[in-house]
Amino acid sequence: MRRRFALALAAIAVVVASATSAPPMAAAASPLALPATVRVNVAGLGLSRALISTASTLTVTGPDGRTLYTGRGQALARLGVRRGTVSGAAIPQRGTVREELESLRTAIREARLEASGLSVAEVTTVPFELGVLEGDADGTGPPLVAAKAVVGVRFEADAGYLALNGRLFRGALELARDDEGDMIVVNTVATADYLASVVGAEVPASWEPAALAAQAIAARTYLLTHLDRHDAYDLEGDTRDQAYDGLESEAAATIEAVRRTAGIVAPYRGAAISALYSANAGGVTEDSENVFPNALPYLRSVPSPGDEVARLSDWGRSGLDWTRELTPKQLQAYLAARGIDVGEPRTIELLQKTAAGRVVRARVTGSTGSRDIGKDLSRYYFGLKSGLFTVVRRPTADIELVARWEQARLRELDALGATLIGPLSEPVPGSDMEPIEFVVVAYLYRVPDRFVFTGRGFGHGVGMSQWGAQGMALAGASYEQILAHYYRGIALTQVGGG
């Protein structure tokens, strides 16, 4: 392993030494302009319940600009609220909060009604409701808003931060509907604050300053090219665009990375690039057209020897070299859940690979048919970390000895349904060197027939490799050299702003 790592460092040094000198910083290009703030969907695929609070004073404003509430309470937005006609108190909907607590509250309400001799004459469902929790009150009382659809209500704190279901955010929060009509929460936040959080969510804040700066510029450029794609917000706050965790992923180092690169983006011939990046390229990046629809001149396959530094990290190592095993039955179920039905898989052929080694056409043949899988879709259909892989089918006759402390492998064998043949024990000698007990040190398994996928890298592999950038930074590369290596022919440009 030391020899392999030494060779990797030598390769990184060659890449750094051969990197072209960074061009002078260009002046702002006219079509390039960063917004002062960014609107980020921080609710993923949608919520049925959103609790918004602050340690200071909360102000709630309706879509018409009218103030609906100002105070120390917590705003609670819910979908499908059930209400009875007797008292007007909400009957909680199971699943919107902790089920046990809600069940208990419902039982208490019903007991109170029964004791008073009243009964709920009618239960109606309110599609959308916004109320305020004051102190330790059991319910929300009369709602601030009750409507047939989600209403665009805005929340602001007079000082400090806002919390959405316990997650802290700068700026303002607003209820909205996503492109599919589901309730989401949009965080309007200063661009620099957004980027500081993205950098910390995408890579560890403990990484080299040059790697963090390269990530900041890539994230800023990505932002610039992905605005105005949604009606109610600019970007998804997860890996559909860029990971964003609000205050949680900010750190002094990520704030500094954004500050020192403020306003710098990466254009190619005057237009901001599609600044794609992935966690680990497995030693070589990929041409864009082999993963995505278009061939882009700045997204060419390049060596990425810096990826090897991931071997020094426990979590990074799992994204450098990896193995996935599935029995034919397991693979059949996995494919079926993704819309492929070929019966029980018998063979997997890798029909076409790129020059970098990524699979762009595979064929799975089963008991009832076959299906070709193209481009980067192998990752999705087989559940792999990258398209840089090989696959073999291993017979049932495999026998494997696993040390007792190899818990991860023991769990994998259990998931495969491997048969335990028996434990392997070693004697523990006493003072007279005679064994006084036997201790289990390993287990012998018979492993079932299975497909074994062996690969390298994590992600699509196009553009900048984040681990590769860290490796280059450790070898002394500047952020300019890192970006020029992964994005060919760019000219870093100062456009002003965050």
What average pLDDT does range 396-412 have in this prediction?
A: 92
Give the N- to C-terminal CA distance of the chain in Å, as an integer.
Answer: 42
User: For 87-206, where are the alpha helices, taking DSSP H only?
Assistant: 99-115, 191-202
CB of 236 closer than 8 Å to CB of 45: no
DSSP state of 482: H
At 88, the pLDDT band (50, 70, 90 cuts) reads very low
As a three-state string, the secondary structure of 216-279 is HHHHHHHHHHCCCCCCCCCEECCCCCCCCCHHHHCCHHHHHHHHHCCCEECEECCEECCCCEEC
Crossing angle (nearest 10°) for helices 209-225 and 191-202: 120
- What type of residue sits at position 6? A
Percent of the chain surpassing pLDDT 90: 75
Quote the CA–CA distance of 358 and 378 in Å, as a whole number. Answer: 10
The per-residue pLDDT of the chain, averaged, comes to: 88
Strand 154-157 with 145-147, pairing: unpaired
SS3 412: helix
Task: Kindly report, residue by residue over 213-238, the tens digit of the pLDDT.
Answer: 999 999 999 999 999 899 999 999 99
- Using the predicted structure, report yes or no on whether residue 138 has a pLDDT greater than 90: no
DSSP string over 78-118: EEEEEEETTT--EEPPTTSS-HHHHHHHHHHHHHHHHHTT-
Which of 93-102, 219-228, 324-333 is predicted least confidently?
93-102
CB of 203 closer than 8 Å to CB of 310: no
Spell out the long-range contacts of 86-90 with Cβ–Cβ below 8 A and sequence spacing 24 or more: 86/113, 86/118, 86/119, 86/120, 86/121, 87/113, 88/142, 89/139, 90/129, 90/131, 90/139, 90/140
- pLDDT of the residue at 95: 47
Quote the CA–CA distance of 217 and 235 in Å, as a whole number. Answer: 17
- pLDDT of the residue at 121: 56
At 33, the pLDDT band (50, 70, 90 cuts) reads confident
- Using the predicted structure, report yes or no on whether residue 203 has a pLDDT greater than 50: yes
- pLDDT of the residue at 124: 85
* Token duo for residue 335: 């494919």
CB of 485 closer than 8 Å to CB of 19: yes
Which of 98-102, 435-439, 485-489 is predicted least confidently?
98-102
Quote the CA–CA distance of 187 and 189 in Å, as a whole number. Answer: 6
CA atoms within 13 A on the CB side of 325: 17
- pLDDT of the residue at 8: 53
C-alpha to C-alpha distances, 113 to 84, 100, 121, 339, 364, nearest whole angstrom: 11, 20, 11, 50, 62
pTM given for the model: 0.83
Higher pLDDT, 390 or 428: 390
Percent of the chain surpassing pLDDT 70: 84
Quote the CA–CA distance of 245 and 201 in Å, as a whole number. Answer: 6
- Using the predicted structure, report yes or no on whether residue 28 has a pLDDT greater than 60: no
Which of 17-31, 166-180, 183-197 is predicted least confidently?
17-31
- Using the predicted structure, report yes or no on whether residue 93 has a pLDDT greater than 60: no
What sign results for the dihedral spanned by CA atoms 234, 236, 241, 247?
positive
Phi, psi of 213 (to 5 degrees): -65, -40
What burial class does residue 345 get, using C-beta atoms within 10 Å of its C-beta: 0-12 exposed, 13-18 middle, 19+ buried? buried
- Using the predicted structure, report yes or no on whether residue 434 has a pLDDT greater than 90: no
CB of 366 closer than 8 Å to CB of 342: yes
At 242, the pLDDT band (50, 70, 90 cuts) reads very high
